[in-house]
Structure 1
């Protein structure tokens, strides 16, 4: 196999400019290298592992499609979006690029991404790509169209220390009532151990929202008029229940400021038997606890047996509107979301595939954690809640409104009703402004 050169680039940050929106715009003249057409591909997290994976995948693609040559660019994960925005502003975009769910809406709103609905209809494996993941992508655009395709997901899940639970005689709770009972029963503040590590600091949104929306048995942020539902009384009851884990001393005092690092550390040290986090916690759990000492499980259900969890968080690939080789880009995109490519990537990088053909692969069948994700993606009792990633104000809401609001509730500086009303007003204004601007 020939070695693929890993390309690194340094681009100067400049002011963003808009581009004309379109759906499946025409390509410029395709790049070429001798008799081959060049496809320029950027990946958002170019590290040693992903670079090696794409070296193999690109070699496979080029073997199957000798008319193409893929130029790979691995970008630093902490600055890739800046590189994308600079390329958009200077009309130097690649043909294909990886994209995270949280960035899709902003790029669509710039008119930077090519609509691929019509292209997708001709993909051989289109019926095998998770409809839940596709719906999550459609939720990112006001027109409900596809501007990227998913390769893997990182579902929100519960992790439990099974070794510690067996010692204590604890069982994995199936319902919110059982979960709250376990939090009370196994809290031992005198010895600094608890059933659950609550996340009250940075990144606290997902765990809190999953709990209160499951409790309320609702799976939409807004009503038909664009009003945020968080001001409904049931959510105050739900948030009070969630906050009572902290109020009652059923989780560590540090939980009020716990971010991912502290929460996973409490789980890994045995301070807590359980945490809620996405599938990416696996590697750290293995490092801290060792294989065979923990497991994953669906979140506790409400009285109706329903679990409401965040809309399928995806990582996928897009074709840029300004692609020089759109046809080649679409061809490579189809390959990246195909069975062979998804299986290879997910096995080597520890990700959860969204192409169901992978479910029959030996590595997947032998993976102890994948069945729970497969159940989540297909179960009729799991409902997905679309976070309003399309709102330009969403990031500000998280850092300046939601995080301090939750901490104010935990510290009893504000009531749940007061904080939820603040959240609802903020998001209602943002949603109605967004809907008005996209009429």
Structure 2
């Protein structure tokens, strides 16, 4: 794999944070036994720090993997730091600005380019080529993280999993109502209406109005419109009239077939509502599959790929591949890399993804027996490989993607739900910001 030496780019603006936050992160920062200078490979022994980018949700399985790693590598200790997923980018930005980055950190593709643009991550392409991971990573996931890094063919994270969009539905409620599974958008809207009885606090759907709402709204837009590319030349298709019409129909579910409180839903609230109440359908990703199994058992729900359009084709937006990054500031990259290689090995990667219900990045793990039993994961993986699904690639390579999609436009999406902003105004605003970000990115990469 070619190792392209990255050109330095202007740093993107980082999120301001309090000194207290900087100090708190620095206290658990890069493992340092005092024997090596910053940026060196180190002895391959000592203490390293790992930031889990979905802390609290996947803590138990990571602690098990760390225990296994330390047993196999008695000269290395791993300090585990759980970072909630909603806070992780701001924590990285804070640590980049003030010091205190970990040796290894979970890095999702959605904010990978932002960290790469600040020159905080070490390229990992050559390390993969010289390791036991060579030839054992799912090619599509490798391509995804390579693209998301925004610097040509170089890789800045090692993929661990993919978690594509999934429509969960209560099979018991569908059966009682005499409804067919929501495999098409027409059946989805029919079920949302039929399963709603506001007086009895029963709703056909729960919509994501809070944190993380934009990618889910885009999935509904492109899924219904059938538009198969995010760009038309250098202009985004987000505000194409077909997408605007699809968004209008989707947000029309709010307060009609969804609870009013959904305007503030993040994924945790949404999942809790689905698992403990009488809500018929939930759009999320494979990451919540095991939560539904624990709460409902396998007989009361099912998870399927997103609905197909009238012509029988399925269009989904890409979900960010998760991965592990090696930070440039690490004083013990040799030990840190050993941990990454172990975490993405067959046994560890299988263990992590089985716990999460996600699609493994390790090809050997992806062939393990548990995949056959995890129906939603199996169907999700099949949909991505059997030619039935067209993936619209979101521009994760834009350093400002996460800022635009979250900080700038999640509040606007809430305005659309509440009726104070039109779907067209929302889509036009988002498109204007994306077009500007794309132009800036192309200018940087042309220099």
With the shorter chain as reference, the TM-score category is: 0.7 to 0.9
Q: How does 1:38-187 map to 2 (within 5 A)?
A: 38=46, 40-44=48-52, 45=55, 47-60=59-72, 62=73, 69-78=75-84, 95-144=103-152, 145-187=154-196
Q: Separation in 2 of the partners of 1:328 and 1:255?
A: 45
1:297-346 CA deviation, whole Å, 9 max, x = no partner?
11101234333334243322222334445455445433332212212333
**Unmatched 5+ residue regions in structure 2?**
1-20, 27-36
Check if 1:434 corresponds to 2:441.
yes
Q: Alpha-carbon deviation of 1:280?
A: 2.5
Correspondence for 1:228 among 232, 236, 239: 236
Q: TM-score, normalised by structure 1?
A: 0.81
**In terms of mean alpha carbon deviation, does 288-297 or 123-132 score higher?**
123-132
Structure whose CA Rg is larger: 1
**In terms of mean alpha carbon deviation, does 413-422 or 293-302 score higher?**
413-422
Q: 1:237 to 1:76 in 2, by over 3 A?
A: same
Check if 1:364 corresponds to 2:371.
yes
Q: Separation in 2 of the partners of 1:306 and 1:374?
A: 17
**In terms of mean alpha carbon deviation, does 84-93 or 352-361 score higher?**
84-93
Q: Separation in 1 of the partners of 2:413 and 2:285?
A: 20
Q: 1:41 to 1:262 in 2, by over 3 A?
A: closer
Paired residue total: 409
Q: Separation in 2 of the partners of 1:11 and 1:200?
A: 30
Q: Partner residue of 2:254? A: 246
Q: 1:184 to 1:355 in 2, by over 3 A?
A: same
Q: Separation in 1 of the partners of 2:282 and 2:261?
A: 14
**Unmatched 5+ residue regions in structure 1?**
1-9, 16-25, 64-68
Q: Alpha-carbon deviation of 1:212?
A: 0.5
Q: Partner residue of 2:23? A: 12
Q: Alpha-carbon deviation of 1:30?
A: 3.9
CA contact (8 A) 1:50 1:349 kept: no
Q: Partner residue of 2:306? A: 299
Q: Separation in 2 of the partners of 1:169 and 1:302?
A: 22
1:55-74 CA deviation, whole Å, 9 max, x = no partner?
113323x38xxxxx323121
Q: Alpha-carbon deviation of 1:261?
A: 4.1
CA contact (8 A) 1:13 1:83 kept: no
Q: Alpha-carbon deviation of 1:422?
A: 1.6
Q: TM-score, normalised by structure 2?
A: 0.79
CA contact (8 A) 1:30 1:38 kept: no
Q: 1:399 to 1:341 in 2, by over 3 A?
A: closer
Q: Separation in 2 of the partners of 1:312 and 1:116?
A: 22
Check if 1:388 corresponds to 2:400.
no
Correspondence for 1:203 among 194, 212, 232: 212
Q: Alpha-carbon deviation of 1:137?
A: 0.8
CA contact (8 A) 2:42 2:335 kept: no
Check if 1:373 corresponds to 2:380.
yes
1:112-142 CA deviation, whole Å, 9 max, x = no partner?
2122223333445544422232222122222
CA contact (8 A) 2:42 2:331 kept: yes
Q: Secondary structure at the match of 1:246?
A: coil
Q: Separation in 2 of the partners of 1:81 and 1:206?
A: 16
Q: Separation in 1 of the partners of 2:239 and 2:97?
A: 40
CA contact (8 A) 2:192 2:281 kept: no
CA contact (8 A) 1:196 1:251 kept: yes
Check if 1:409 corresponds to 2:416.
yes
Q: Partner residue of 1:66? A: none
Q: Separation in 1 of the partners of 2:114 and 2:261?
A: 35
